[in-house]
Structure formats: structure tokens, C-alpha cells
A and B are shown apart, each in its own frame.
Chain A
Amino acid sequence: MKKIIPVLLSAVMLFTAMPVKANAEPVTINVYNWGQYISDGTDGYIDVNKAFTEATGIEVNYMTFDSNETMYTKLKTGGSTYDVIIPSDYMAARLIAEDMLEELDYSNIPNYAYVDEAYKNTTYDPDNKYTVPYTWGTVGVIYNKKYVDEADIGSWDLLWNSKYSGKILMFDNPRDAFAISELLLGLSINTEDEAELRSAAYKLIEQKPLVQSYVMDQIFDKMEREEAWIAPYYAGDYLLMVQENPDLGFYFPEEGFNLFIDAMCIPKGCQNKEAAEAYINFLCSAEISGQNLDYLGYSTPVSDAKQYMNPDTAASEIAYPTSETLENGSAFCYLQTETSQLMDSLWLEVKTQGSVDSYAIICMSAVAALLASYFVIHNIRKKKRLANRCKKWKQ
């Protein structure tokens, strides 16, 4: 008996340690998208994933990330596979360059034909092999009209205005954050020059004492509740926020701004490529794109979709800026791996800067010194005590 138990236990262990292959369930696809980035049935808008399941019978396992870098890390770390991901332009370029995307079979995506020509043959996917645009949009400054002086707005330097110290939020991802300081310094947002990147990082460090926190999706909550007053963010999300708090305002900074496209891709290792393509095709149809983006506030790359939108949204100058405004915007390009890594480490420097707390270091050394002296004194005393005891014993 005593021998059987360990054998049994080992067997149980082996069994549990064995990885389980996906079993025959109805087809499910893993979709990995930005947080707050699909119409999910709130406020009477369409529930896109449910509509897709009803139309095709394919289940959607929907997961979210809060920055391109988070998504990239998740893919790179391995261990899990996704069928559809929706990164931004520069990240799609990086994934293509690192051979992490599957080529799409566009015959399975007939709705691609409806995508406007302006969003095809882009710099990140020049031959239209890997991506289908999901939305496009702009980055600007969201501010609270109640607290922010109208005279201060207009430029990115509002985010460096010490008058609003502690009420300023900042992007929690390197590319968007660096773009802002680069624009303010008059640099290209695609610079690969080390000195320029360092000066941009320095600018961010300069801003740090004023920053309340580095956040992404939490911006919604913090801005709506007026915990923070100023935040750079995506224009589409401003349109969502202003519905909750009408005091919020938005402007395109005069130094220029980032113009982005978020694209649907299929990563290598995907389990159900056809189902994934069906999902991409579904999101690309004029009707779904229109209803989805009507809720999201981001801009659609399918012009036909506008007829399914609330006319006010379709006419919004924030979602669809005039061509004059758009001229001021610039898109991210692919950066060399070395540049990306430099940016990552500079960003870590920015985020960990200011933690140098001389006070803590002094106190810690004091504690260490106290501990050391305690042990030394204690040992001496102990020896004395022992010696005394020995003496007494001898006597």
C-alpha cells in the first residue's frame, strides 16, 4: 500500500502536468484588441461580437490590452495564441518586420473592397498583404473647461504648465509619449537619432513632477470624474468622455499631432485562420463598421459606413477633421529594432526617474548601522555573559 500511493500520486501528477490540446468545441477565435475599443451593447448600441456569433456561429473570446507594447510583449513572451489582433500602424510594421504576422487571404475578406483608397498601400503595409484597417484617428489634448484657462490652450506645452501640476495625465506607452515631446521640441516623431531621442526623454523627465500618473484606459475615469484636468489622448475617446462630462474640451495642438491607423492582423500561430478572416471581414462591412464606430467615436476607413451612423457623429470635426487640420498631422513609421529598444530603455529611465529618494537612502543606512551595532554589542555581551557563567561554574 505504501508503495502504491506514491506511484498513484506520481501518475496523477504526470496526468495533470500534461498539456491539454484544444478539444473539439464549436469554433472559437481569440480576439485581442484595445480596451474600450468595440461597441459592446451599452447604451443600446450594437454588440458587435454577439452579432458576429449570431451571423456565423463562431464564438469570440475577446481579450483586451492597453497599449501596443503590452500586446507586443504578450505575443513575444509566447504561451498563448490569438487569431485576430488590432495593433496600431507602427506596431503592425514592427510585427511585419519581425515576421510575426500571417499573410491574409483577401479572397476571404470581400469587404476589403469597400475600404477607402487612402487607407490602402500605407507605409506600414505597402503591398496590402498583412493588414486591414479597423479605424483611424488623431491624438490631441483633452482638458476640463472648468479648471483650465482658455488662454493656456493651443499647444502641447499645456502638458508642461506648472499651473496645473498634479492634474496632468500622460500616456503610459513610450511611442505616444515620445511623440508629444518630440513635437514640442520641433523634431520628427519618427526620428531615429539618438541625441534627439535623448533630448525628448529629457523633456519628459522635466514634465514628470507635474504628472499625476501615467495611464491609458484609466484616463476615462480620471477625466470624467475630474480627478485630472488635462490629458493627451485619442480623439475618438474624447467623444466618448464628453458624453459623460460635458465640461471636457478638446483641441489639436498647433505643433502638429499624430495621425494613426489601427489595423486588424492575424498573428503567426493562429488556430483558425478562416474564422479570423471572417471576423475581419465582418468588422470591415459598411454596416458593422458604421454602427460600431458610431459608438466608439473613432473614424471609419470605410466611407460607406457613414450612412449607418448618427449624422452628428459623421459630421463631427473631431472624428473627421477638415483636410486643413489633417495636414498638420503625421503618421508613425516603423523604427529600427535598435531604436525601439533605445526608446524602451529611455522610457524606463523616465518612469523610474525621481525615485531616487536621498531621504530613504539615509534612513536605510541608519537602520543598517543600528542593526550592525546591535549585533556587535549583543555578541560582546553574550560572550561576557558566557565567560561569567564559566567563571562561576569553575568557582
Chain B
Amino acid sequence: MKSKSLAAPYLVWMVLFTVIPLAIVAYYAFTDSQTGQFTLENVSNIGNYMPILIKSIWLALISSVICLIIGYPVAYFIAGCDEILQRFLYMLVMLPMCISFLLRTLAWVALTEDTGIINNIITALGMEPLPLIRNNGAVVLGMVYNYLPYMIMPLYTVIMKIDRNLVEAAEDLGCNGTNVFKRVIFPLSVPGIISGFTMVFVPAVSTFYISQKLGSSGTTLIGDVIESQFKTAYNPNLGAALSLVLMVMIFICIGVMNRFGDDEEVITL
């Protein structure tokens, strides 16, 4: 069929604006900022930033797990409602994403600061203010808050599509509620879990705004370092090298996650 050629402009576009730019990133990662010659210096410097990378992955991982624990019951509940309520609830979950995430994060800052809303209330009640902001917990809170809808969306889509007949069949065959969940619903929602996990993990691991606003001077994440190399300390070569490492790390993580899906012998999204 000739309609294959309809994809040609798209392919040209994607090669021009995603493949070539990534090649340029790789080129920058292996060249010297002054002379433009080939060097391994940027890549060998990466060792210094390993602790930061590990910390970023760790915080993103915690956030993804919390998102899953919070998101699953919500998605499960929404998928079980009647159609009209389903649409309405789904809309409610999506709606916060329409408002600038910068401002929403800033609202959390206003809530959790030492002189913020929560602490103002606490001190008004005569208690000692709590250290709510500028720690790892606050960064995780910011990530969970911002990316929770990305977890609920795919989970809901997958759970909703589970054939109710399967559940009934399992019940007819003598499964109780817990077992139906364990043996039918949960395994069938694995693709949703994987895709939700990815959708939370990737933006969380590379964030720079959340850690700048909610983190302490010690919670510098890999995204912060990359951003600073391109925005304040002019060293695009180091920034490119770090971007490359981040990319590889993410591909490894996604690969590992997809292994779960393969093992369950279900179709991945």
C-alpha cells in the first residue's frame, strides 16, 4: 500500500529534531569546550557526580513507589464506578495538570515553609514549628504530588479494560475476593503499573525545579547539575555528558521494569 509514504514527513521531522539533536548531545559529550577536540574528560568526570545520580534515582524510585501505592486504589475505585461518575472522577484527576506545575510547587512551598501556612497554624496553636521543608521528604512530596496523575491515568485505563467476565469466571471457579484480585486483576494490570511507573520515574529523576524549591542546599539532583551547566556555569560539554548518562540510566531502568512485564507473560503497552 502506498499510504506508507504518509509517514515520511513525520519520519523526516523526527530524524531532524530528535535523532540528530541526540547525536549532537553525544558529540558535545565527547569534545572539549575550548578547542572542540575529542576528549574523554567530560565522561571521566562523571564519576564525581555518581552520588548525585544515585540520590536522584533513589528519590525518584521512592516517589514512584508511593505514587503506585496511592494511585492504585484510586484507579481501582474509579474503574469500578458507573460510567458517568468514572468520567467525572477521571477529569478531576487530570484537571490539576492544566495549571502550571511551577505555581503548584510554589503553593507547596508556601504551605511548608518555616513561616508558611501550616507552621503559622501550628505556632498559633502554641506548638513548635515543624521542619517541613528543605529535606528529602519535601522533595518526595513534591514529586508525588506533581506526578501522581501520571500514575493514575494508565492504571485506570488498564483496570477499566479488564474483562469483567474473567472476574466472574474466577469467582465461579471458587476464588474469594482477595484471590480474584491477586490472581486476576493485579496480574492483568501489570502493564498499567509499568507504564505508570515509567511516567512517574522519568520526570521525577530528571527534575530540577522541585528540588530547587523544596529541597535543601544539600539536595542537589542530577537535573539541577545539568540545568546549571546550560544556564549559569557555561559548560555545555559537561552538561551533555551528564544528559547522556542520565539517558542511559533511564533506558536501563525502563528495561529492568519491562522485564517484569515480560515475565508475567502479558502484552506490554
Which chain A residues have a beta carbon within 8 Å of chain B's beta carbons? 2-3, 5-6, 9-10, 13, 17, 67, 69-70, 72-74, 76-77, 166, 170, 173-174, 208-209, 211-214, 225-227, 344, 347-349, 351-352, 354-357, 360-361, 363-364, 367, 371, 375, 378, 382
Contact = CB atoms under 8 A, between A and B. Distances in A.
Contacts of B122: none
A3 B5 contact: yes
Interface stretch (B84-92, B188-196, B202-210, B224-232): B224-232
Contact of B54 (A6, A72, A208, A364): A364
A70 B235 contact: no
Contact of A9 (B9, B51, B58, B219): B9
A152 B115 CA distance: 24
Contact of A10 (B8, B54, B134, B220): B8
7 nearest A-B pairs in the assembled complex, by CB-CB distance:
A9-B9, A360-B58, A354-B218, A356-B51, A73-B234, A211-B217, A344-B233
B6 interface: yes
Contact of A2 (B6, B51, B233, B236): B6
18 contacts: A2-B3, A2-B5, A5-B6, A10-B8, A13-B9, A70-B232, A73-B231, A74-B231, A344-B233, A354-B217, A357-B51, A357-B58, A360-B54, A361-B54, A364-B54, A371-B256, A378-B263, A382-B263
Contacts of B218: 208-209, 354-355
A364 B57 contact: yes
A382 to B, nearest CB: 7
B12 interface: yes
Nearest to A210: B217
B232 A67 contact: yes
A284 to B, nearest CB: 29
Contacts of B220: 351-352, 355
A361 B8 CA distance: 46
B236 A77 contact: yes
A170 B216 CA distance: 13
Contact of B113 (A77, A227, A363): A227
Could you say which of B8, B58, B61 has the most chain A C-beta atoms within 10 Å of its C-beta?
A: B58
A91 to B, nearest CB: 12
Contacts of A10: 8-9, 12
B13 A13 contact: yes
B171 to A, nearest CB: 25
B234 A76 contact: yes
A227 B117 CA distance: 12
Contacts of B16: 17
Contacts of B48: 349, 352
Given A70-B231, A357-B51, A360-B55, A212 B134 contact: yes
B61 A367 contact: yes
A174 B80 CA distance: 56
Contact residues of A: prevailing secondary structure: helix
Interface in B220-265: 220, 225, 228, 230-236, 256, 259, 263
A211 to B, nearest CB: 5
Contacts of B228: 348, 351
A160 B194 CA distance: 47
Interface range on chain B: under 10, 10 to 19, 20 to 34, or 35 or more? Answer: 35 or more
Interface in B165-184: none
B52 A352 contact: yes
B49 interface: yes
B235 A344 contact: yes
B233 A364 contact: no
Contacts of A212: 134, 216-217
A213 B217 contact: yes
A235 B16 CA distance: 50
A355 B9 contact: no
Contacts of A351: 217, 220, 228
Given A355-B220, A356-B51, A367-B61, A77 B230 contact: yes
Contact of B234 (A13, A72, A375): A72
Nearest to A343: B233
A211 B220 CA distance: 13
Nearest to A365: B54
Contacts of A354: 217-218
A351 B229 CA distance: 12
B265 to A, nearest CB: 9
Given A70-B231, A227-B113, A364 B58 contact: yes
Contacts of A348: 225, 228, 233
A227 B114 contact: yes
Contact of A213 (B6, B52, B216, B236): B216
Nearest to B9: A9
A113 B231 CA distance: 37
Contacts of B6: 2, 5-6
Nearest to A338: B34
Nearest to B212: A213
A147 B28 CA distance: 49
B68 to A, nearest CB: 14
Given A13-B9, A227-B113, A352 B231 contact: no
B253 to A, nearest CB: 10
A318 B27 CA distance: 51
